[in-house]
A and B are shown apart, each in its own frame.
Chain A
Amino acid sequence: MNSLLTVGKNILPAKRSSVIPGFGLTMGFTLFYMSMLVLIPLGGLVLFTTSMGWEAFWQSITDPRVLSSLRLSFGASFIAAILNAFFGLIVAWVLVRYTFPFKKVIDALVDLPFALPTAVSGIALVTIYSQNGIVGRYVELLGFQIAFTWIGIVIALTLIGLPFVVRTVQPALEDLEKELEEVAASLGATRWQTFKRVIFPAIQPSLLTGFAMALARAIGEYGSVIFIAGNMPYKTEIAPLLIVIKLEQFDYTGATAIAVVMLIAAFLILLFINLIQWWNRRYSDEN
């Protein structure tokens, strides 16, 4: 344990004059625990990928079944994130700007997808949207089907990504100075012009961040989708499910190849979010 403490001290020297104790201990434990649980395992995955060789990797991911599952996962996630951006913006707007009955309860319920286990939302959604479900039976009358099609997948992914846009846009709307809208109005702008030219540009970075977070979450989602998806190869089989299937067949290489593609996508999205934050800072007073 002693060497652990000094590790923390040597690598990342704290400010000498600090009178607050515990840097070595807390930093040491943080780095140790994070390395054991997160960094080394993830590094192992990267190592495993590089050891499998480009040929094997390429062969795995260009398999038609894999390709169609990736296409479905990314496509459905994208549509779900778009839906969340649109409706999430409206929900955030309504929660910040207007008063209506049960507003506080509804505000709290927005976080439900964070708290509700995905398996629960999965079986609930399929019950609602299947042919004899309370919504599904009416959709059936319109001539199409939700459960066991890609639409069902989009619905499940919309549910689990729902809080992200609302929770990122809400504070941005709250922070918006009222004066900006008043100035726009005094200059003759209509409400819609004010929204389009003044409010939207101000909340756009938050909206994009929320969109990206919902997208990232949707791409990796498993539990809520598999019940409603139908899981037909080439049709309604999402990439995470294919990983599970390949693992069950002990095809570690195939599973890892899909995982790497998904991880790269996730990191690109993370990068995108950081870029938005950085890009947005050019207007702020701090620089």
Chain B
Amino acid sequence: MSIKVEHISKSFGTFKALDDVSLTIPTNKLVALLGPSGSGKTTLLRIIAGLELPDNRDSAIYFDEEDVVDRKVTDRQVGFVFQHYALFRHMTVFENIAFGLKVQPKKVRPSMEEIKTRVDELLGLIQLEGLAGRYPNQLSGGQRQRVALARALAVEPKVLLLDEPFGALDAKVRLELRRWLRKLHEEINVTSVFVTHDQEEALEVADYVVVMSNGKIEQMGTPEDVFHRPETEFVMNFIGQVNQFHGRVERGRGVFGKLVVEDDEIAGAENASARMFVRPHEIKVTSRSSGNHEVPVTVLHVHKAGPRVRLELQDDENRTLQVDMSHDDFLMTELGKNDKAYVSVQNSRIFISEEV
């Protein structure tokens, strides 16, 4: 089932949570809504679920071809998973998972045996076979979230919506669980949307990432797209580490202090202020000058505790640069703290301001 939302706006008092948002989520994909807090991602998810209503009348939410905007959450057949699990604490794991089946109208409600079979199946899926009789407070955080997921899946929802599903877990469980979700999604094949503020999580798990800020969608694309081909400054800034330079475009060249860059993107541009973004791994550092477009810098700090070496550099215009490289490459440079070095930009993104 695909999801299509059109022209959704939502305000809470004077705060504009969503500002005319339209979005299409393809069938059976796992999509991440990524953004800082207050960007409107949770509100969008809740509106898709039917837990919240859009403000405007011209809005529409299509599940496949069907407009469900007037349909109550009860009838939308969505599975919803909350950050803090929202498990029914007075029910066992079994009863929690069976809840959605037991509240169905008598005509369509499965028999007790069918319910039991279905719940056992789901317990197998979430790998908690032996724990059917436990109460939520006897489970770990990761186990609770898996139960919440099984509970949502029990009613065979058309779409699965997850609001910061790993937000309440510690780092290690979080890592484990998001890989497990990826695998689970491949097994069950339900169109799924999850909200997160953790870019690593979004990039690793999702088929598509929707980056949001200030109630608007900045970019939607594959994880590769948003990481390597950010369309807006916000995305560039928000995803991954980045060095930012303020400067100008002059006759097709970017001039950022002593740093001068030539780029196809700005070839046609004349005289405008501009900002350049360079990822730490896209800066080359050498101990000896080897040609054009290089800037002399001083090594302020070297952080070697990690999979890659991170350098903090300062140029003569007092700008601080973050660079990272492999340990091998770093050894080749023969650099140390307080050494002089030269940097050149290998790859960059330049955004030209509209005003001159």
Contacts and interface: CB of A to CB of B under 8 A. Distances in A.
Nearest to A202: B90
Given A180-B86, A198-B88, A283-B135, A186 B103 contact: no
B104 A188 contact: yes
Majority-rule SS of A interface residues: helix
B209 interface: no
B343 to A, nearest CB: 50
A188 B100 contact: yes
- Pick the most buried of B75, B91, B103, B148: most chain A CB atoms within 10 A of its CB: B103
A201 interface: yes
Contact of A177 (B51, B76, B86, B148): B86
A266 to B, nearest CB: 29
Given A186-B49, A188-B103, A189-B74, A283 B89 contact: yes
Interface string A160-186: 000000000000000001011011111
Contacts of A179: 82, 84, 86
A180 B103 contact: no
A190 B80 contact: no
Interface residues of A, number: 22
Contacts of B72: 185
Contacts of A184: 99, 103
Contacts of B155: 187-188
Contact of B151 (A187, A193, A197, A284): A187
Contacts of B103: 184, 187-190, 193, 197
B346 interface: no
A35 to B, nearest CB: 40
A186 B135 contact: no
- Pick the most buried of A179, A189, A190: most chain B CB atoms within 10 A of its CB: A179
Nearest to B46: A182
A202 B73 CA distance: 22
B90 A186 contact: no
Nearest to A196: B103
A182 B75 CA distance: 13
A182 B80 contact: yes
Contacts of B79: 186
A200 to B, nearest CB: 10
Contacts of B30: none
Given A182-B73, A183-B82, A186-B78, A283 B90 contact: yes
B25 interface: no
Given A177-B84, A198-B88, A287 B73 contact: no
Interface string A186-214: 11111001000110011000000000000
A187 B90 contact: no
A186 B88 contact: no
Given A177-B84, A193-B103, A182 B51 contact: yes
A180 to B, nearest CB: 5
Given A182-B80, A183-B80, A282-B135, A190 B74 contact: yes
A14 to B, nearest CB: 33
A201 B137 CA distance: 16
A285 interface: yes
A89 B78 CA distance: 32
B137 A183 contact: no
Contacts of A287: 137
B210 interface: no
Contact of B99 (A189, A202, A284): A189
Contacts of B323: none
Nearest to B75: A188
A282 B86 CA distance: 17
A187 B152 CA distance: 7
A187 B135 contact: no
- Pick the most buried of A177, A188, A201, A285: most chain B CB atoms within 10 A of its CB: A188
A285 B137 contact: yes
Interface string B112-139: 0000000000000000000000011100
Interface in B19-37: none
A193 B106 CA distance: 13
Nearest to A200: B90
Contacts of A198: 88
B84 A185 contact: no
A284 B135 CA distance: 10
Interface in A46-104: none
Contact of A283 (B99, B104, B137): B137
Contact of B137 (A180, A187, A188, A284): A284
Interface string B49-87: 111000000000000000000001111111110101010
B100 to A, nearest CB: 3
Contact of A183 (B76, B86, B89, B135): B86
Contact of B100 (A187, A190, A284): A187
Contacts of A180: 86, 88
Given A180-B88, A283-B90, A186 B73 contact: yes
B98 to A, nearest CB: 10
A197 B136 CA distance: 16
Contacts of B89: 202, 283-284
Contacts of B91: 201
Nearest to A192: B103
9 contacts: A179-B82, A182-B51, A182-B82, A183-B86, A186-B74, A186-B79, A186-B80, A188-B74, A283-B135
Given A182-B51, A190-B103, A197-B99, 16 more contacts: A183-B148, A184-B103, A185-B73, A186-B51, A186-B78, A186-B79, A188-B74, A188-B100, A188-B155, A189-B103, A197-B88, A201-B90, A202-B90, A283-B89, A283-B90, A284-B137
Give the 3 A-B residue pairs with the shortest CB-CB distance, closest first.
A187-B100, A179-B86, A189-B103
